[in-house]
Structure 1
């Protein structure tokens, strides 16, 4: 939970965790029955306003395209 926040020296707020597991479906609506699943996960951390631009630029550069 803290890995992305830790990149900025922050602590993630465990009270804000939101996670959702879903069945895995293919492009044609086929259902995976081999244990695969989709996961959406979010958590919040406070970042000083002066650091917002730097954080966004750093993440965009590091994101796969």
Structure 2
């Protein structure tokens, strides 16, 4: 996974829903929806999903500014 933040799923949860690493899944809460790549993560707590938000800094020094 490069340049993106996947949803980390436990192997049990992924198997239950037939999801594989790299599949694009839709997460919903009330009226909000998020389409994100799934990544199967051994050791992830069963029946849970982890989302990392961020990595969007604008000031990173001479080389990384504006990326």
User: Same-fold call, TM > 0.5?
Assistant: no
Ranked by relative contact order (alpha carbons within 8 Å, sequence separation 6 or more), the top structure is 2
**More helix per residue:** 1
TM-score computed with the length of structure 1 as normaliser: 0.22
